[in-house]
Amino acid sequence: MWLLDKMLRAMVKDGQLIVRDYDGKLYHYGDPAAPPVTLRFTDKGAALHVAKDPRVGAGEAYMDGRMVIEPPHDVRDMVLLVMMNANRGRGSIEAPSRFKRGLDWAMAKADQINLRAKASSNVAHHYDLTRQFYELFLDENRLYTMAYFTDPANSLERAQLDKLALIAAKLRLEPGKCEGMRLLDIGCGWGGLGLYLNRHYGIEVVGVSLAPDQVKFANERAAAAGVSDRVQFKLMDYRDVEGPFDRITSVGMIEHIGAPHFREYFAKTNELLADDGIMLTHTIGRIDGPGTTDKWTRKYVFPGGYIPALSELTRAMEQTRWEIGDVELLRYHYAKTIAEWYRRTTMHEAEITALYDAKLFRMWQFYLAGAEQSFAHGENVNFHILSSKDRSTLPMTRDWIQPEFERLSALDEPPEWHLEQQAAE
C-alpha cells in the first residue's frame, strides 16, 4: 500500500478519498471536511496491482472485484474524484519510467494500424455485443454518439433527436428538392441517422458498417419503415464503396480508423463525393494535441481506436485537397450523454449480469465513468467539420444552420414510452 499511498497523497487535494486496505487499515486523502468517497481492497495484492500501473490496474481491480467502492458512492464517484485531481495538475496518477512510456507509445501506435481484417475484428469486439445490451442504456434510435443538449435539463431522447437535427441542418438539404440525391453514411451504426435523413428529406441513403448485427438491425428498421428501396445498409469497408455521393456523413467513425490511415480515409471520401457535395465529420477530439489511446481502453474496450487532435485531421484533409468550410467544437455535451448512459447501465445491473456476467457489467461501468470524466474534466471534446471540394459550396456565413435546426427540432417529439419510464423512475 505504501506506493499507492505515496501517489494519492501527492495527487488528491480536492474532495476526500478514503482507502480501506484488505487488513482494515484506513488511509485518508484530500480535504477532511469534504464528503468522503471510500474504496476498499479485498486482497493483499490489490493495492500494489493498482499502483504498478494505475490507468490499467484500477480498472482491472474493479472489474475483478478486488477493489470495491463502498455505498452510498460508486465507481463513477471515485473515478471523477481521482481524475478531477489528476487533470488539474495537482499530482501525477503515475510516474512511469522513460522506457515504459516509450514502450507504451510504440504499442499504442502499432495498435492504430487497422488493415482490413484487423479493422473488422476490432469493430466486432465492441459492437457485436447483443442487441438487448445496447437497448438497456441507449435511446430508442440506438444513437451511440454524443447527444446535443440545447438545454441541460433535456432528456437523452430529446438531445439525441436534436443531434440528428443539427447534423441534418449543416448538410444544407432542402425538403422536396432531394430527388435523385444520394448520401453515404460511413459507420452507420443501427441506422438512426440514415433513416432520419430519408424521412425528413427523401434522400437516398447508403450506410456502411463492419458490425454485422448493426447492419442487420438497420436493414430491419428500413424494411419496417417501408423504405428499403431508398435506404440500404451494407456490411462493407468504406474503402470498397463506389460513388459518387452528394453528401457524406461520418459520425463516430473516424475514431476507429487510426491516425496512420487518416490520409487514406480522406483521400477515399474525397473521391466518393460529388464535385458540389458536402461532407460532415463528427468525431470525438482531443484538444491537447496528438497523443495515444490509454492501454486499458485499447485492451478492453476499443482495440485499434484513437481519438484525433484537430491538427491531425486538418493536416490529412489539406493533403487530400479538401476545402474545410466550418469547424465547431462541442463541449460538455458528451459528458452529459455518458452520465445518462451510466445511470441507465447501473439501473440495469441485473439484466446485464444475466446477459454476460458481473465482470462485464463492472468493465462497462468503469469505461463509462472514465469516458465521462475525460469530457467533464479532461481533454476531450467533439468536433464537427464541414468540408467540400469547392469553397463556394457553403455560404459565407453560418446563418443557414440555426433556422433549419429549429424547424427540424420542432417536428419530432421523444418517444412517449421513454418519458413514461423516466417518470416512473
pLDDT digits (tens, 9 = 90+) for 234-287: 999 999 999 999 999 999 999 999 899 999 999 999 999 999 999 999 999 999
Which CATH number fits the domain that encloses residue 382? Answer: 3.40.50.150
Q: Which residues have C-beta within 8 Å of that of residue 291, sequence separation ≥ 6?
A: 307, 309
Q: Based on the fold, state whether residues 20 and 163 are members of the same structural domain.
A: no
Residue 227 has pLDDT above 70, yes or no: yes
Q: Tell me, letter by letter, the H, E, C secondary structure of the chain.
A: CHHHHHHHHHHCCCCEEEEECCCCCEEEEECCCCCEEEEEECCCCHHHHHHHCHHHHHHHHHHCCCEEECCCCCHHHHHHHHHHHHHCCCCCCCCCCHHHHHHHHHHHHHHCCCCHHHHHHHHHHHHCCCHHHHHCCCCCCCCCCCCCCCCCCCCHHHHHHHHHHHHHHHCCCCCCCCCCCEEEEECCCCCHHHHHHHHHHCCEEEEEECCHHHHHHHHHHHHHCCCCCCEEEEECCHHHCCCCEEEEEEECCHHHCCHHHHHHHHHHHHHHEEEEEEEEEEEEEECCCCCCCCHHHHHHCCCCCCCCEHHHHHHHHHHCCCEEEEEEEECCHHHHHHHHHHHHHHHCHHHHHHHCCHHHHHHHHHHHHHHHHHHHCCCEEEEEEEEECCHHHCCCCCCCHHHHHHHHHHHCCCCHHHHHHHHHC
pLDDT at position 301: 86
Considering the domain architecture, whether residues 51 and 148 belong to the same structural domain is answered as: no
What percent of the chain is predicted at pLDDT more than 90?
80
Whether 204 is covered by a domain: the verdict is: yes
The mean pLDDT of 35-46, rounded to a whole number, is 97
Same domain? For 388 and 310 the reply is yes
- Among 101-110, 222-231, 293-302, top mean pLDDT goes to 222-231
Range 149-164 average pLDDT: 97
Instruction: Report if residue 93 sits inside a domain.
Output: no
User: Is 178 a member of any domain?
Assistant: yes
pLDDT of residue 126: 46
Domain that holds residue 239: 116-424
Q: How confident is the model at residue 113 (pLDDT cuts 50, 70, 90)?
A: low
- Which pLDDT does position 298 carry in this prediction? 83
Which pLDDT band, with edges at 50, 70 and 90, does 101 fall under?
very low
> Among residues 87, 105, 124, which one ends one of the domains?
87
- Say yes or no: 59 and 127 in one domain: no
In a domain, 345, yes or no: yes
For residues 341-351, average pLDDT = 97
Looking at the fold, whether 280 and 206 belong to one and the same domain comes out as yes
Other Cβ atoms closer than 10 A to 225: 14
Q: Are residues 236 and 365 in the same domain?
A: yes
Question: Are 332 and 257 found together in one domain?
Answer: yes
Tell me, yes or no, whether 380 lies in a domain.
Answer: yes
**Does residue 108 sit within a domain?**
no
pLDDT at 112 over 80: no
Model confidence pLDDT, tens digit, residues 61-100 = 999 999 999 999 999 999 999 988 987 754 444 444 454 4
377 & 329 share domain:
yes
- What's the average model confidence in pLDDT over 4-27? 96
Does residue 121 sit in the same domain as residue 78?
no
Q: 160-175: per-residue pLDDT in tens? A: 999 999 999 999 999 9
pLDDT of res. 103: 39
Residue 189 and residue 300 share a domain:
yes
In a domain, 107, yes or no: no
Q: Report pLDDT digits (tens) over 180-193.
A: 999 999 999 999 99
> Of 71, 87, 103, which residue sits at a domain end?
87
306 beta partners = none
Within-domain flag for 98: no
Q: What is the mean pLDDT of the chain?
A: 90
pLDDT in tens, 190-219: 999 999 999 999 999 999 999 999 999 999
pLDDT at 231 (0 to 100):
98
Q: Of the candidates 70, 87, 104, which is a domain's last residue?
A: 87
Give the confidence band of 123 by pLDDT, cuts at 50, 70, 90.
Answer: very low
105, pLDDT greater than 50: no
Q: Which three cell numbers stand for residue 156?
A: 437523452
How many domains in the chain?
2
Same-domain status, 171 and 236: yes
Q: What is the CATH number of the domain that holds 73?
A: 3.30.1050
Lowest-confidence region among 14-28, 128-142, 143-157:
128-142
Q: What is residue 295's predicted lDDT score, i.e. its pLDDT?
A: 85
**Residues 143, 44 share a domain:** no
